Structure 1
Amino acid sequence: MNQILAAFIFFTRLPFWKIKSVPDECFKHVVSYWSFSGWLTGGIMAICFWGVSQILPVPIAVIAALTVRLLITGALHEDGLADFFDGFGGGRDRESTLRIMKDSHIGTYGVLGLIIYYLLGYQLLSSINPSYTPFILLCCDSYCKFVCSHILWLLPYARKEEESKAKVIYSRQNYKEETASAIGGLLPLVFMPHSFFITLPVPILVFIYIQHLLRKRLGGYTGDCCGASFLICELSMWFSIAIVSGLIR
């Protein structure tokens, strides 16, 4: 439970730290329990969307759901996505890419990346049957975090520990933690309509490509890469669900 609580503390701005103090060692394992934080963020998004859609148009409910996650997480993953686009857009080699990604200032590539991400996310979620959307928000959040947690299995950390922005180097999962991560990521899928199960391989394939890109450019991953991988994989799943949703109408 300490590891799950540490994941809630690390990946959200909600005051879970008031419940119980967590040993610093637990924060090295938060990626293994990342999918459980998806229950919280995805669940609140789903509730927010459903509530707002009862009184306002669906596009407004989509904006509200996306905004509430930003507030809950403090835009943690979006910061990683912006740094990822800045680094890979402006960097020419490993050193320059890492240097740009560590810069706290957002650049042109980061701004454009976030704009395109949210325009696509808004349009895709607005195009889906709204009766499905709450379940999609919950399932995609948890499942894609589970998929992206395997970055620790596939890549080493690209920086030295003292250079980490979060001052935490994640520990590679053991088989017990892998099982817990799978439970966190796969259990919510019981709420997903069966017609969308065909989309489950899509974020896996996107993740494989991203980790190949990270290996080639950086020789490893960073915390920013984890957040960017999650958002890109989640967007790819929304994309595939929107396509399937259009085909089955």
Structure 2
Amino acid sequence: MKRWAELVGATTLLTRLPVGGLVATHPSAAACVWAYPVVGALVGGIGAAVLAIGLRLGLSQPVAAIWALAAIVLATGGLHEDGLADTADGFGGGRTVERKLAIMRDSRIGSYGALALGFSLALRLVALALSTHPAVALILAGVLGRGAMLLPLLLLRAARPDGLAATLETPSRTAIGAGLLIAAAASWFAPTAGLAALLAGLALTALARRQIGGYSGDVFGATEQLAECAALSIL
């Protein structure tokens, strides 16, 4: 029941799915991090189901892929896309760490954020449109993208003392390691895609260290998006 509660907690954090009522008590956010790749499989599965239904109804693969991505964004509330946009605006538009963090907290989107979102959506759409097994690609990319979110959590510290990321300051190495192991197991089906996601996650982690000295909630979202794009590019 503890693991179930942690899975529900991770799903509540990373999606808009109304699952919070499935457990009586909610564990800490830090305890739930191992389940991020499992939530990725769930979100990818939602997109895969919509894509399969679209193809069954006679839609072309590119059109079905658009509906699949729309379903994923709806399921997550655009959480990771928002993080990507804020990170791009902050890293690209700020000169100091304080200014970068302030921009990342601003709900308005700038040119860097808009461009990053456009590239992310376009790349994922084209990759799915050209994929031989797009439904499988969606699920695997979902797992690998959420698994990559654990890399900045493992290698960095929170860039500021408040905010969502600060609540994840002390997850156990066991919880992080379990999540990475789940993502690594998924990579068995597509090792090159797993490697691509790993490198993308490490690259964003290194960039975050240089830009703001640590991670933030937006950095997690940007890491997920970059890793997912890298995985889908291979898949």
Q: Same fold (TM over 0.5)?
A: yes
Contact 1:5 1:22 in 2 (8 A): no
What's 1:60 paired with?
63
Instruction: Write the distance in 1 (CA, Å) between the matches of 2:31 and 2:110.
Output: 31
What's 1:42 paired with?
44
What's 2:141 paired with?
140
Instruction: Write the distance in 2 (CA, Å) between the matches of 1:199 and 1:40.
Output: 19
Secondary structure at the aligned position of 2:157 is classed as coil
Amino acid at match of 2:49: I
What's 2:195 paired with?
201
Instruction: Write the distance in 2 (CA, Å) between the matches of 1:240 and 1:113.
Output: 19
What's 1:221 paired with?
215
My pick for the range that moved more, 231-240 or 141-150, is: 141-150
What's 1:74 paired with?
77
Amino acid at match of 1:199: A
Q: TM-score, normalised by structure 1?
A: 0.86
Out of 15, 19, 23, which is 1:16 matched to?
19
Query: After the TM superposition, which parts of structure 1 deviate over 6 Å for at least 4 consecutive aligned residues?
Result: none
Contact 2:194 2:231 in 1 (8 A): yes
Contact 1:28 1:168 in 2 (8 A): no
Instruction: Write the distance in 1 (CA, Å) between the matches of 2:32 and 2:169.
Output: 9
Contact 1:148 1:207 in 2 (8 A): yes
Amino acid at match of 2:113: G
Task: Give the deviation of 1:217 after TM superposition.
Answer: 1.2
What's 2:155 paired with?
154
Distance 1:178 1:235, change over 3 A: same
Instruction: Write the distance in 1 (CA, Å) between the matches of 2:23 and 2:122.
Output: 39
Instruction: Write the distance in 2 (CA, Å) between the matches of 1:30 and 1:79.
Output: 21
Identity of aligned residues (%): 29
What's 1:112 paired with?
115
Q: TM-score, normalised by structure 2?
A: 0.91
Amino acid at match of 1:50: A
Amino acid at match of 1:49: L
Q: What per-residue deviation string (whole Å, max 9, x for no partner) do you get for residues 105-136 of structure 1? A: 1122111211121112111211122xx11111
What's 1:247 paired with?
none
Instruction: Write the distance in 1 (CA, Å) between the matches of 2:25 and 2:37.
Output: 19
Amino acid at match of 1:232: L
Contact 1:203 1:236 in 2 (8 A): yes
Secondary structure at the aligned position of 1:157 is classed as coil
Instruction: Write the distance in 1 (CA, Å) between the matches of 2:125 and 2:165.
Output: 33
What's 1:246 paired with?
none
Secondary structure at the aligned position of 2:167 is classed as coil
Secondary structure at the aligned position of 1:150 is classed as helix
* Residue 83 (1) aligns with residue 86 (2): yes
Gaps of 5+ in 2: none
What's 2:31 paired with?
29
Q: What per-residue deviation string (whole Å, max 9, x for no partner) do you get for residues 26-54 of structure 1? A: 22333332111112101111111112112
